[in-house]
Chains A and B, each alone.
Chain A
């Protein structure tokens, strides 16, 4: 019996001991977290991988890819490149495999796709891609890629791919000998083109224009449409600003019909190579085909300029109709840093100059090294740098796959019947069915989930949040809003839950936080937040938010949150009747404040200033510091430019001690509501509290101006000590696009004007609709627009949580002994330990 007990005990102890050891030991080995955004090259060496998916498995394409991988390996020797190329079907197989993998949640780190709507319509619409604007900005790509290219590979201002190579679609290939023999000039306009072909037909060449299977017909059509309509109208057809029913589209169709009369009757049986070969063989004079034909001609051993020549498709000179292979960054890429490294190489001069000479295309950058390219490509590079860029239909730039397939069907029918009118109405129908931008804001095609974390679970806050969610739902009907609000403890519980989730790597898409250092000191310091400057710029928020606000919510020039509402901390609430009875005016300076309270005390009111539990004491302290020091010195305390040991800080603390002498002795047992109520009940004359007190007074049924009044805390007129709830964008948000959509709504006039009147706060934007707000809030909006903005300590704007908690402890100790000198020493120490002081 005893032996069994002992052996069991020993076994148990051994297990326990080993568990404890493993638990401790394992943790000590955890590597320091790597801040996102760091250059992957600087990261500690380790087994890192990047899996890149493409359909480049043969010929110049595979060789070009290998050349670019070589460049990548030189730059990032620590990252193992996994070439997940899938052969067959010119990408069809690869796209099917990719779709299967994406559905299974097994995304590669990057994949190849035709730049433009083929990618956007498929993957962006499914929320699979991250915008790459940050990469373009970081690498200066916007300066080296043609300006007119960017809108074609973007959606709603977001760029979604890195184009590696560029091909030109609108190239007219001709046989110089044939033209010379028939005394035909290279045509530069459609009428010249028709005249030239008439001449050739008259000379006995039945089909001067070589054409192949149906996709080459579509290719021909897009170039003729471009020639007939011009680049502006052509672009407008695709972005929905021009109707397909317009008469000039009918004219383009008739031009196209005319072009078809010059083509060979056996086109349906010819591949594009067959059709192109007709030109170099002298069986046709012209062929309209993308510039990959040049590689084919060289393979056939033909000499440029003598055996084949090229020009822009007649009528499209000065326009570069492009297509491009590009790489993307999937949301939730398994190795995001490595994927970004790959994209950086794919967009670099070095990478593109390795790939393109081998593949026979030109770099998307306009600064490629021309010496590496052949004579045709050099001329294309010149045009690429100076031409207007428009996109190709056949090769996925301007239309999504659905739209393109409907156009393809309509074209096939048209080729059978040659009925221009029916064709045009079919094109209109195709636009309505698949091309039309979704109603209202274009972004509403976004779908999926967005999980927003907050502690707004009751009262006006929850109602305000619901109102804003409603606005969001109208703008983004396809996004499922998950309201992950955590109740309790005025946010304490929520923050603890959030910290746990972040440590477990399970971040929500956006969360609520007090704007300023509370967010910055905690989450930015831990590398958890993305800067939002791009959002501010895109939406023009910098123009509608007070200039002095921005530095308070920024760190090193980066803005990290979108403030939704604004509360004012430095408000003095008073009881007009009590003041009137005592013959006291509303004080405007600290001295007047003291005199007023002395008068009230003399009249028998023991505690003219109502105060509550400890956080309200800190709230009182920050307003008195501001009043005593002024806004510049107050700001200096928090950014480290002013010492806490200065004599005027000591004076301010002495003022604070004096203020405390007018407060109620039972403050520790009162909540802020209890303290505020003392004023409206006439038990105290004053209370210094944030402007949420106004909502409380209204709940009590009190009348503004008669039963309660307000003024800036004495000595702080012209200064707006603010606090704000704001939303952030975490790095690696599971649904980044949807999160950005949420932030866009949170920062919009509509969103803020939905939230704030219900919550009882003012919008962070200065252009809110005043009619929606009550009399106090209207006065606060006026002040917000014109006052100097400074931040609140108690509510997380000016100090990070660690610093604030040390100040809180120092304040608690100070309240026990009221020893100013000791308090000041602690404040100096707190600033050194957790603030910016040295």
Chain B
């Protein structure tokens, strides 16, 4: 009996998206990237745009996203994915173009490209995975690292200003967690801005709906960035087991980065 004999249409309730390749993910067990990849691929497949989608991967853990999505892909320099996506979309306006970036890529080294791409209102989709730390380089502070959070470059915890003692208290130090998503939502060039998570099935479903809307808006529209932040984990660099990391995410990341739509159809959501 082969696998094909077992998987009959009547038995089949769920399968890997056809727009994911068979290459095994290099992501750490428990990491959110795999889930985010999967729901993006499912959305693109459901929308029937596999042949007209071009993705742009970042520098960071998702640098090799191009190996996993079975759609055309360009790998960008660190932080430049929105500029690369702009270049592609401007000369192929009928294609579906998306960037996939982490917090260091999108909100530190690429802040300029992020803000100006949003401000120009490029008709693209931007996926922003925020886990509050640099994963690929081994767990250094990200712009979104929480205050007090320990990383390889904030071994005593991120401190916005220097702590009391030795007479230096109050002097600028690591600064504050950067709320780039709220920032770009204020720009007239953004159409849909939302913050989601993938730590449990209910939130995966919500995140998928948001990603679908972000792609539908691009397909049906002419201008306006559709921006989906996913608050995710980095259990390896947070030095936690996957379940503990997700619990920590809910208790610590979400109060700082609350979930929900921030801007819908070009209008800020009243809170």
A and B are partners in one complex rather than unrelated chains: no
